[in-house]
């Protein structure tokens, strides 16, 4: 399969830049493509750039999972992966392949996002929520390891469904202050 960036110049010309599947998946040539001159007028400014996105497959997910410098997107990779069609792929990689812990966290977060999305939208798919929750319950240790990576609003909805107690940072910090106050009072009594 052919992967091409389409770079449109202000002059109306559209350059097609062919890249490999790996280069397309991880944007490895993007900086070079951004700085490339228009083949018609030589201008470096452009009006749009389309980015080819290969379909996620096991080999790409494993390569991404083992390279801290590879990104499908620099932000919100979890949202990109949070799709029902990727559940089996994510579970297969989590269960059968060694990947970096931060990438493992992104995959767990993507599954939590699926639960969240299916519980805050009008089109609640309870079968999908139940399926993902069941899988995350089997991987509770992974979920707990990933909890600092997962946004609070996602945890607030998904954790109770998974069977993990959600403690907001606000509650946690107020409890901490209360414990410190008690500890300070005890110190005063002992002194």
In a domain, 180, yes or no: no
User: Span 5-26, mean pLDDT?
Assistant: 94
Give the pLDDT of residue 178: 52
Give the pLDDT of residue 75: 81
Domain check: are 29 and 75 in the same one?
Answer: no
Domain check: are 116 and 45 in the same one?
Answer: no
Q: Name the average pLDDT for the chain.
A: 88
Distance in angstroms (rounded) separating the CA atoms of residues 26 and 104 = 17
Domain limits for position 89: 55-173
Look at residue 163 and tell me whether its pLDDT is greater than 70.
Answer: yes
Look at residue 8 and tell me whether its pLDDT is greater than 60.
Answer: yes
Answer for the pair 89, 95: CB distance below 8 angstroms, yes or no.
no
Give the pLDDT of residue 73: 84
**Residue ranges in the chain assigned as alpha helix (H):** 21-26, 30-35, 58-65, 77-81, 87-96, 101-120, 126-138, 140-146, 152-162, 169-190
User: In the β-sheet with 14-19, what is the strand arrangement from edge to edge?
Assistant: 14-19, 3-9, 46-50
Answer for the pair 91, 128: CB distance below 8 angstroms, yes or no.
no
User: Span 28-38, mean pLDDT?
Assistant: 91
Domain check: are 132 and 108 in the same one?
Answer: yes
């Amino acid at each position: 399969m052919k992967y091409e960036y389409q770079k449109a110049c202000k002059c109306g010309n559209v350059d097609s830049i062919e890249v490999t599947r790996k280069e397309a998946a991880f944007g490895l040539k993007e900086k070079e493509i951004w700085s490339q001159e228009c083949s018609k007028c030589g201008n470096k400014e452009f009006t749009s750039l389309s980015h080819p996105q290969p379909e996620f497959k096991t080999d790409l997910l494993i390569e991404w999972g083992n390279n801290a410098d590879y990104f499908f997107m620099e932000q919100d990779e979890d949202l990109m992966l949070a799709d029902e069609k990727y559940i089996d792929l994510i579970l297969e990689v989590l269960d059968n392949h060694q990947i970096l812990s931060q990438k493992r966290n992104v995959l767990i977060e993507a599954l939590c996002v699926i639960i969240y999305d299916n519980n805050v939208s009008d089109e609640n798919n309870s079968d999908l929520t139940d399926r993902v929750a069941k899988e995350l319950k089997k991987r509770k240790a992974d979920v707990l390891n990933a909890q600092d990576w997962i946004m609070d609003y996602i945890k607030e909805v998904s954790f109770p469904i998974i069977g993990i107690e959600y403690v907001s940072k606000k509650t946690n910090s107020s409890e901490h202050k209360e414990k410190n106050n008690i500890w300070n009072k005890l110190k005063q009594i002992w002194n």
